[in-house]
Homo-oligomer: A and B are copies of this chain.
């Protein structure tokens, strides 16, 4: 029918589709995606780190109920779990399973009478790469129409929720949700040219050229960075990042700056040096950073240099790798692939090891350092 002058019925979908076809498109390949603890996914320029747009979702770690001791500290980088104050007073130790592994193994019942209940829920965010506008969210419960002609990003995210219910005390012992973007690892063959150094406890990211060591850019995203991604082959790809203490990242950056007396953005700063230091463990020491967000604690591995003061914990250790305990990590076909238990036994002698027994403690935006004394580290968590 010809136009009669009457107002047409609204057709937002078609309109939206047409407007996207006409606009210049920022190729997703030119973007980096930075996931932060508070649940933001920042699409940033690969060249400058400047934020183009931000997707705001639920925080990476959610601990709705924090009930009884011993508590568990999740690692927002991969969903690992650390237990605080085990049966044998080991201090802070890593458990041999992650939250996603627990959810996969549930429902199961451990020998100490804990019922593990899991929930895994995927969601696809269908996003305009130009504006960051969310066109649709696809879950198992809902699916909406999407403009078929506009180039769109498909970003998959999974929420893993686990509940531990103690049948002896009839109490919920712990529950938590860990949210993770679905992203296969970046193909190493493709020769990724950047290295992303992130600081534990704040949102600082220093991106350097892998070969020359040039600092390409530095940005602060306001919340600790837990993942850096590229968009390649129609999906997010996990790019490697290295976590360092705030002081260490600043120390290295400023050391470089004073040596060169150059502008910040063109600092010559040897990434190779950092890597060698880290692997030799001479000056950069692997530690566990304990932070706080909202009302819960979390833990993540972090490299520190020898100038950063730490809280040693006597014979306690925070092992980065975690132990393999024969009768705890049971794999039996058809059964729970892992039999969860917090009764982790460390090999004899390992709890008095002189390596990896440092604990760096801070809050979300501030790191507390103490250069003397051996206080209870948890006094320093605000």
Q: Which residues of A contact B (CB under 8 A)?
A: 103-104, 106-109, 115, 117-124, 138-141, 143, 145-146, 148, 154, 156-158, 161-163, 165, 167-168, 170, 172, 175, 182-185, 234-235, 238, 332-336
Contact = CB atoms under 8 A, between A and B. Distances in A.
B122 A235 contact: no
A58 to B, nearest CB: 15
B170 A148 contact: yes
A158 B332 CA distance: 18
Most buried by B among A107, A124, A175: A107
A165 B143 contact: yes
Contacts of A184: 332, 334-336
In the A-B complex, the 8 residue pairs with the closest CB atoms:
A107-B156, A184-B335, A107-B122, A185-B334, A120-B120, A119-B140, A140-B161, A117-B122
B145 A124 contact: no
A234 B109 CA distance: 8
Contacts of A123: 107, 117
8 contacts: A117-B123, A119-B120, A119-B121, A139-B163, A143-B165, A148-B167, A148-B170, A184-B334
Number of copies: 2
A158 to B, nearest CB: 6
B172 A143 contact: yes
Given A117-B123, A117-B139, A140-B161, 19 more contacts: A104-B104, A104-B120, A106-B156, A106-B158, A107-B122, A107-B124, A107-B158, A109-B154, A109-B156, A115-B138, A115-B154, A117-B124, A117-B138, A117-B156, A124-B165, A139-B163, A140-B163, A143-B163, A145-B170
Contacts of A108: 156, 182, 235
Contacts of A141: 119
Contacts of A335: 184-185
A62 B182 CA distance: 27
A235 B109 contact: yes
A140 B117 contact: yes
Contacts of A182: 107-108, 336
A168 B149 CA distance: 9
A235 B158 CA distance: 29
Contacts of A332: 184
Nearest to A182: B107
Given A118-B140, A119-B121, A107 B157 contact: yes
Contacts of A154: 109, 115, 167
Contacts of A185: 333-335
A122 B162 CA distance: 10
A155 to B, nearest CB: 9
Contact of A334 (B120, B139, B158, B238): B238
Contacts of A148: 167-168, 170
A179 to B, nearest CB: 12
Nearest to A335: B184
B122 A140 contact: no
Contacts of A122: 106-107, 117-119
